Structure 1
Amino acid sequence: MKKIGFLSFGHWAESPQSQVRSASDALLQSIELAVAAEEVGADGAYFRVHHFARQLASPYPLLAAVGARTSRIEIGTGVIDMRYENPLYMAEDAGAADLISGGRLQLGISRGSPEQVVDGFRYFGYQPGEGSDHAEMARDHTRVFLDVIEGKGFAQPNPRPMFPNPPGLLRLEPHSPGLRDRIWWGAGSRATAEWTAEQGMNLMSSTLLTEDTGVPFHQLQAEQIQMFRDAWKAAGHEREPRVSVSRSIFPIVSDLDRAYFGGESRSQDQVGHIDGGIARFGKSYAGEPDQLVKDLAEDEAIAAADTLLLTVPNQLGVDYNAHVLDSVIRHVAPALGWR
């Protein structure tokens, strides 16, 4: 079985066309969509993290709230920009959110995407060290984070503490056992996918890759996934890794679906530029369920992944997005062997 979840950017806009007009709307509707997703049989609720934008930004209160309102689905991010993160504070927040959810956190992290402001991480108090750059700073923060969530003691205890200490060096609390195996890295290239495997993180691949070899997006992404798995095996990790891909998929089963997404049936891959380099963007899938089944059966990256994240148009509201999830799960997934 393939796990199917949603990925929401949590956009909000003060517009009559949007059903999400404030930050409060975005947060509260995100929780309600996670509840609705669990009810229709989805496997995960994932949220994007963007700073300085009218989108979801601070993930841990939202993850904890979703964890408290649901009982089964995985709860995750896709992705947290590690350039902005204090890795020790992050370890405490992640441990707390994971414990509240009963060990359902699937935390996607990465170097991040193009920003709303110039070097926004500097406003958060972080800047690359001499001879380094922002990408390496993100990896440095990640190494510290991965190390401390293992749960090993590293801090010298106060000989006269306010409360009694356990023996030995102290670890960060709260510690959530097993969280280390549920960390994902959002890789935008094949080389980064290999690095991800070497670090023992799961692979989260998006609807764009920061390289282009001229082949269709899904084939390039499938190559990335295979390189990740080969590197994982070479690294000698004991557990089986997980791989997710993201897609925009809209079954047209009503007139409203056709009004919103009928034009997307002609969607194609696009090649553009991001962060000063070339990138290939994957197409959207929209159409009658029978046609979607045929089209999606040819997507090599979806076939290679164990988890599919459906990017949702959150500004259309909770009810409509729950309908989209339900349509994929009922009308498309069974015919493709995903259910």
Structure 2
Amino acid sequence: MPLPSEPLLKLGFLTIGLFDAADPRRGHESTLGVIELGEQLGFDSAWVRHRHLQYGISSPVAVLAAASQRTSRIELGTAVIPLGWENPLRLAEDLATVDILSGGRLNPGVSVGPPMHYDRVKQALYPTTSEVEDFGYERVRRLLDFVRGERATGFSGVEGFEEYSDRVQPQARGLGRRMWYGGASLRSAQWAGEHGMNFLTSSVVKAEESEDFAGIQLSHVRAFRAHHPDGARARVSQGLVVIPTDTATAEQRAKYEDYVRKRTPRTATPQGPARLMFAPDLVGTSEEIAERLYAHPAFREINEVAFALPFTFEHEDYVQILTDIATRLGPALGWRPAS
């Protein structure tokens, strides 16, 4: 196995938090249990993903508020909040509140663009402003300003018995430095760098420059850092799907391999009008996965990951996968669990 030029410093994981519509609490409790297990295993971070009008976590900030009270060390992130569904001022209040409750452990990741299936949801979401809503980077800039303590209004002071602030309250110190942008395009990578954000790059990129996933992702990492005030020190996290099988049962290995086999055809060519490229899922022993990661050009330029858990597995599968990542794959990448 090739040795890393630099050890992996931060190991995280991402879960979608699926649930049964007839018993939604069980799925949410499973997600919280997985986050608690992640802390026990020494993971540096746990991330959750938005799913609106689906059977997955629709309110990750609320879920992370609950997770903040069941954990004490692990960082808690969103990967990502699609801002097309959000009011930046209200979201800034929620993020700051949860960051305070967590003791400064929140890592909010966001993205821009119209909500998925916008034509079908716009009347429910923006019944009177659907045609004039701006879903571009300005929405992120507004959120950043509010989180970083810029004025939200020209009014402050005392009115009667009420005291008002001209800035979002509470103010969470350090939260502005822990804001992440989830980008799949070169433009997004550059914009995130220019605005001093951290950068989340996942298993999806846009085939703008070529049809080589690893090469495209590498160009995004380099463009982000080239435009960031911190340069090479700017934080980037990679989020590929990895499924180690070291301690999996024969039945689990068969299920995992079938899952990957069904998803692999989409990785061959760009998909849809946006020409999205998907990275192959990595399944096998931790040693095999580590070798494939070391061969990945973008992985060799980062020292943080948030490996994505497969979406449709059972709780016991996530326990096995997370345990193998923490006890076998992570150490094979030079990572050491947090104490």
With the shorter chain as reference, the TM-score category is 0.7 to 0.9
In the TM superposition, what are the counterparts of 1:208-219 in structure 2 within 5 Å?
208-219=204-215
Structure 1 residue 256: Cα displacement:
3.5
Report what 2:305 is aligned to.
308
- In percent, how many aligned pairs have the same letter? 26
CA contact 1:76–1:105 (8 Å) conserved in 2: yes
Structure 1 residue 92: Cα displacement:
0.7
Q: Does 1:245 align with 2:238?
A: yes
Report what 1:338 is aligned to.
335
| Deviation digits for residues 220-277 of structure 1 (CA, Å, limit 9, x no counterpart) | 2011101111111xxx359942111111111122324312223467647332324x22
User: What is the letter of the counterpart of residue 231 of structure 1?
Assistant: H
| Deviation digits for residues 187-246 of structure 1 (CA, Å, limit 9, x no counterpart) | 1111210011111111111111122544531222011101111111xxx35994211111
Distance change >3 Å, CA 336–CA 215, structure 1 → 2: farther
Q: Distance in 1 between matches of 2:284 and 2:37?
A: 23
Distance change >3 Å, CA 112–CA 46, structure 1 → 2: farther
Distance change >3 Å, CA 5–CA 251, structure 1 → 2: same
Report what 2:159 is aligned to.
160
In the TM superposition, what are the counterparts of 1:225-244 in structure 2 within 5 Å?
225-232=221-228, 236=229, 240-244=233-237
1:286 corresponds, among 283, 287, 293, to 283
2:130 corresponds, among 107, 115, 127, to 127
Structure 1 residue 4: Cα displacement:
1.5
Using structure 2 for the length normalisation, give the TM-score.
0.86
Q: How many residues align?
A: 321
Q: Secondary structure at the match of 1:272?
A: coil
Structure 1 residue 319: Cα displacement:
3.0
Report what 1:7 is aligned to.
14
User: What is the letter of the counterpart of residue 241 of structure 1?
Assistant: A
2:149 corresponds, among 126, 148, 151, to 151
| Deviation digits for residues 99-122 of structure 1 (CA, Å, limit 9, x no counterpart) | 111101010000158725536355
Q: Distance in 1 between matches of 2:295 and 2:237?
A: 17
2:174 corresponds, among 172, 178, 181, to 178
2:185 corresponds, among 178, 181, 189, to 189
| Deviation digits for residues 52-90 of structure 1 (CA, Å, limit 9, x no counterpart) | 111111122101001111111110111111111111111
CA contact 1:82–1:111 (8 Å) conserved in 2: yes
Report what 2:270 is aligned to.
272
Q: Distance in 1 between matches of 2:312 and 2:181?
A: 27
Report what 1:297 is aligned to.
294
Distance change >3 Å, CA 22–CA 214, structure 1 → 2: farther
1:205 corresponds, among 201, 205, 212, to 201
Aligned CA RMSD, in angstroms, stands at 2.5
CA contact 2:84–2:115 (8 Å) conserved in 1: no
Report what 1:98 is aligned to.
99
Q: Distance in 2 between matches of 1:107 and 1:298?
A: 30
Using structure 1 for the length normalisation, give the TM-score.
0.86
Distance change >3 Å, CA 128–CA 44, structure 1 → 2: farther
Q: Which runs of 5+ in 1 are unaligned?
A: 15-20
Structure 1 residue 12: Cα displacement:
2.9
Q: Distance in 2 between matches of 1:238 and 1:281?
A: 27
User: What is the letter of the counterpart of residue 111 of structure 2?
Assistant: S
Q: Secondary structure at the match of 1:12?
A: coil
CA contact 1:85–1:141 (8 Å) conserved in 2: no
Report what 1:52 is aligned to.
53
Q: Distance in 2 between matches of 1:22 and 1:116?
A: 26
Distance change >3 Å, CA 302–CA 189, structure 1 → 2: same
